[in-house]
Amino acid sequence: MGKKTKIGIAAAAAGAAAWAGSKALIHPELRSAKEALSYERPVVLAHRGGMLLAPEHSMAAFQNAAELGVDGFETDIRLTKDEEIIMFHDSHVDRTTDGAGRVADMTLEELKKLDAGYQFTDLEGNNSYRGKGEIIVTLKEVLRKFPDMFINIDIKDAPETYEGSLIPSKLWRLLESEGALDRVVVTSFFDEQIDRFNLYAQNRTAIGAGVNEIKKAYSAFTSQFGHLYKPRADLFQLPVRYKSIPLDSPRFISFLEQLNVPVHYWVIDDKDEMKILLASGARGIVTDRPDLAVDALRTHIAQQD
């Protein structure tokens, strides 16, 4: 046996010993339970209120989704010039309204004058909400209008911007004043925004996983040291695939579930795909078609009984 072979065998043995030792001494650390995520069956969340059925983030969309029987909403928030938190996805108002400009450069009063249904076309291709009085709504308005709804809140303002530096604290104060700490999940594509919010929340409110946390979890899952992973989020809201990496395997869902971290998938508008994800263990479906998702969930529950 050559010297290199002996060294290779010794290294492999040392690695195996390290793995076995860590496996024996370290037990997975479960994420503490949060009231907002303590549901007994999977949930349906209307993406921006269900944006294929009504204008995104409009009161019409939220009301329609609620009447269809969803469990909650998946929403985006941004801060206005006068530091009000509105339900809005894009940094500019052009794509959804009849106006133009940056959200952060406009006051709430200015934004309320815009037609929030201007760009929307329904499933038949009609501008069915244009000129019907739909306006941009605030997070406070939605919290008060739907007091029993679960709301997933995604901070869209980037941390390096002025508005992004303010919104985590503004959001915390709003949720606290409205008594909504136990019925929301706060998340962001920016891990830094989640961390900033949690400086105020101190884990009292459920938080989602940012991009870096998702990468860390998946790397742990695919390694031999998954038992060392300690989740820093209460919920993983995932696409079924990130670049070339599939994120919808039952084993990955189970890996997170065993750490008391449920998994929601977005944005799922195909009924058959919804059924497959639910059967694989998904705890939530985020969709632009809440009508289809509510029906798919009912079918899934009936099959489980």
* Assigned domain for 27 exists: no
* Assigned domain for 11 exists: no
Rounded to 5 degrees, what are φ and ψ at 61? -65, -45
How far is CA 257 from each of CA 171, 234, 253, 280, 293, rounded to the nearest angstrom? 28, 10, 6, 12, 22
Predicted confidence (pLDDT) per residue in 111-142, tens digit: 999 999 999 999 999 999 999 999 999 999 99
Nearest alpha-carbon partner for 49 in 36, 64, 67: 64
- Give pLDDT, residue 215: 94
CA distance 250 to 7: 38
- Give pLDDT, residue 19: 41
* Assigned domain for 12 exists: no
* Assigned domain for 25 exists: no
CA distance 110 to 12: 66
Q: Cβ contacts of residue 104 below 8 Å, gap of 6+?
A: 78, 79, 80, 81, 91, 157, 161, 162, 163
Nearest alpha-carbon partner for 281 in 42, 5, 39: 42
List, for the chain, all residue ranges whose pLDDT scores fall below the cut of 70.
1-28
* Assigned domain for 21 exists: no
CA distance 99 to 92: 9
Residues facing residue 206 across a β-bridge: 185
- Give pLDDT, residue 7: 45
- Give pLDDT, residue 21: 45
The residue whose two tokens read 């939220």 is 62
- Cα distance from N-terminal residue to C-terminal residue, the chain: 61
Q: Cβ contacts of residue 73 below 8 Å, gap of 6+?
A: 45, 46, 48, 49, 62, 65, 142, 146, 149, 150, 151, 152
CA distance 83 to 108: 8
Rounded to 5 degrees, what are φ and ψ at 73? -125, 145
Dihedral (CA of 299, 285, 75, 244) sign: negative
* Assigned domain for 173 exists: yes
Look up residue 44 and give its two tokens.
Answer: 């349906």
* Assigned domain for 16 exists: no
CATH code of the domain containing 247 = 3.20.20.190
Domain that holds residue 53: 32-304
CA distance 268 to 239: 9
For residue 78, how many C-alpha atoms fall within 13 Å in the half-sphere facing its CB?
23
pTM, two decimals, is 0.89
Overall domain count for the chain: 1
* Assigned domain for 68 exists: yes
